Amino acid sequence: MWFPLTFRVRYQETDRMAVVYHTNYINWFEWARTELIRACGYPYRLVEEQGLLLPVLEVGAQFKQPAVYDELVTVYTSVTACSSARLEFAYEVRRGEPEHSELQHSEPQGKELERPESEV
């Protein structure tokens, strides 16, 4: 199941070419993960108050095409592994709004961000 978080790319997240600076995607992942946990009924603050911490141990991203200033994007988040000691998440960033703004997504909706042929 995928959880969608939709928003507009803000000016402060872009470089001089109006392209989202790469480190901002990691911030978006954090935001989306926090909202997924909140949607499940556990605000992250409550999770930490119960003594549970979710440190980021590994981050990776494959960039196909940049998001740009004022573009509507949706970050999809899914829990891919869960144990008593670890949670793993997957993320996808896509252009546009999801077809349904519910937690019950079976797969991301919207146009995939693709790299132009000249950058392959």
To the query of whether residue 70 is one of the catalytic residues in this protein, the response is no
Q: Which residues of 15-39 are buried (b: 16+ CB within 10 A; e: fewer)?
A: eeeeebeeebbeebbbebbbbbbee
DSSP symbol at 49: H
- Catalytic residue among 1, 7, 15, 82, which? 15
Residue 113 is encoded by which pair of tokens? Answer: 């961000």
Give the residue numbers annotated as catalytic, written as ranges. 15
